Structure 1
Amino acid sequence: MGLLDDKVVLVNGGTQGVGAAVARAAVREGAVVAVTGRRAEPGEALVAELTAAGGKALFVRADLADAEQPKAAVAEVVAAYGRIDCLVNAAGLTSRGTLLDTTPELFDQHVAINLRAPFFAMQAAVADMVAREAPGTIVNVITSSAHGGQPFLAPYVAAKAGLVGLTRNAAHAHRFDRIRINGLNIGWTATEGEDATQRTFHGAGDDWRERAAARLPMGTLGRPEEIADFVVFLLSERSGVVTGSVIDWDQNVLGGLD
């Protein structure tokens, strides 16, 4: 028996990085999985991989920066499978900006991807669960930077901190509907997106992962597959009644000082 046997799971931002790892882990645990992304090629490649491994998967092309498309993605999953049991919001925009140089356009981009898209995806998923009077689970992949973050992440932090509050608000609002909603504040993680970010914004070379890992307490960056296992646990009944929790999945301790 898998942790997510016969569950219908939608992973927003599921074509690479942490989202793709969640999709793989969910399929291994028995779920039917749909993933969203802007580009068809990686989405269809992931679906082919999951199908070849014996899973059942669907790619939904969606630009989550468009306010209507998060809701449309949920509708497409419900149309295909009759329901949605679990939602994972794993998409994230990490382009840089400080308090002094962030433009209104950059700020709006961060809010659109990092806060508005999860809001309306949750709205549509919860509406389906409530209409069916069925329980469900949602996990929002957030960031440890939501506690304050680096100066060059001002719009990112603002939007992701909003997602922390939204996670708790929605969990409180729908606890008597038996819909559990939790968040994961992940730390520095080795993903394709992070590689591109380090090279684009910080001039990183091919050895940036090794150099970064050497500065971290555990000697390694976070691994998407480890985060994915934790997300699946939170989606599953194994995590019991836990709701409204935003868990720091990181190797740095908030408030700890040397």
Structure 2
Amino acid sequence: MKSIRLEGKIVVVTGATQGIGEAVALACAESGAAGVCLGGRDAARGAAVAAQLEAQGCPAHFVRGDLADEADCRALIQSAMTRFGAIHGLVNSAGLTDRGTIEDTQVAQWDKLFAVNVRAPFILTQELARLLRPLGTPASTVNISPRSSRAGPPFLTAYASSKGALVTLTRNNAHALRKRRIRVNAINVGWTDTPGEHEIRRKEGQAPGGNERAGASLPFGRLLDTGDVSTLVVYLLSDAAEMMTGSIIDFDQNVIGAYGSDVHPPI
């Protein structure tokens, strides 16, 4: 069996100062990565996560930037290459989840979400592909998307649309880069228990423990956690997934397209 390990690999992770991105960075270190470049906006949190990785013996490099800025996107990849001399993996975990329906979403809000959720992964993958061309080395990009990329609820118009575009970008890039062995896959993540999710629910007026109660009603009795997601990301980054590209993984305990109760109706 091929090892699901990252020995010798350098990985760039966006949104690495919180939630899924932070969990992915830590999982890369635990899986033996030779180095992790952390992208984020919060310098204090970036330093804290980097310190955790260093404590595990994994060299870490934090780059502060705004993914809505093209220059910052390119600088993240370039900084990682300068620091480590190679890049073998890119995880596009950062994303904005601003609410808004078709009627009340402002154009500025739409543009902001598309800039961070779609344009940034495009620029980051483009910059990586350009830098790797003279080196001829393989790589793996993992895009984090939600299950709402298929349509989503009415109050996530811009968010769902941007993530749907990210799914298409994933397949397009996978096909374009296949002969260079730069793999591109995406994970459509279901409802995940993160600090950010708790904060969103708090702002919406949900009582404490709401996520736990919601999880208890699901088929497997809980929400996904960041460890579930980071484990799958590490697999996609590893050589164990070397033949997998252009895949969109629906990672949820509810089966998309299935409906109805478990009770067989009388005939």
Is the TM-score greater than 0.5? yes
Matched residue of 1:68: which SS?
Answer: helix
* Pair 1:110 & 2:107 matched: no
Tell me if structure 2 keeps the 8 A contact 1:143–1:187.
Answer: yes
Q: Give the equivalent residue in structure 1 for 2:263.
A: none
Cα offset for 1:161?
0.3
The residue correspondences of 1:201-220 to structure 2 (distance < 5 A) are: 202-220=204-222
Tell me if structure 1 keeps the 8 A contact 2:4–2:235.
Answer: no
Cα offset for 1:240?
2.9
Matched residue of 1:217: which SS?
Answer: coil
Cα distance in 1, alignment partners of residues 134 and 256 from structure 2? 40
Amino acid at match of 2:209: D
Amino acid at match of 2:153: Q
Tell me if structure 2 keeps the 8 A contact 1:3–1:232.
Answer: yes
Indicate which of 182, 185, 189 corresponds to 1:182: 185
Cα offset for 1:75?
0.5
Q: Aligned residue pairs: how many?
A: 257
The residue correspondences of 1:55-74 to structure 2 (distance < 5 A) are: 55-74=58-77
Q: Give the equivalent residue in structure 2 for 1:146.
A: 149
Identity of aligned residues (%): 44
Q: Give the equivalent residue in structure 2 for 1:8.
A: 10
Cα RMSD of the aligned pairs, angstroms, is 1.1
* Pair 1:40 & 2:43 matched: yes
Q: Give the equivalent residue in structure 1 for 2:20.
A: 18
Amino acid at match of 2:249: I
Matched residue of 1:131: which SS?
Answer: coil
Cα distance in 2, alignment partners of residues 140 and 118 from structure 1? 8
Q: Give the equivalent residue in structure 1 for 2:194.
A: 191
Cα offset for 1:211?
2.0
Cα distance in 2, alignment partners of residues 68 and 205 from structure 1? 41
* Pair 1:75 & 2:82 matched: no
Unaligned runs of 5+ in 2: 261-267
Cα distance in 2, alignment partners of residues 2 and 215 from structure 1? 32
Tell me if structure 1 keeps the 8 A contact 2:171–2:185.
Answer: yes
Cα offset for 1:83?
1.8
Say which one has the larger Rg.
Answer: 2
Tell me if structure 2 keeps the 8 A contact 1:89–1:118.
Answer: yes
Tell me if structure 2 keeps the 8 A contact 1:171–1:180.
Answer: yes
Tell me if structure 2 keeps the 8 A contact 1:94–1:197.
Answer: no
Q: Give the equivalent residue in structure 1 for 2:231.
A: 229
Unaligned runs of 5+ in 1: none
Cα deviations by residue, 1:8-45 (Å, 9 ceiling, x for unpaired): 10001111101111101111111111111101011000
Tell me if structure 2 keeps the 8 A contact 1:2–1:28.
Answer: no
Cα deviations by residue, 1:216-241 (Å, 9 ceiling, x for unpaired): 22111111011101000001111131
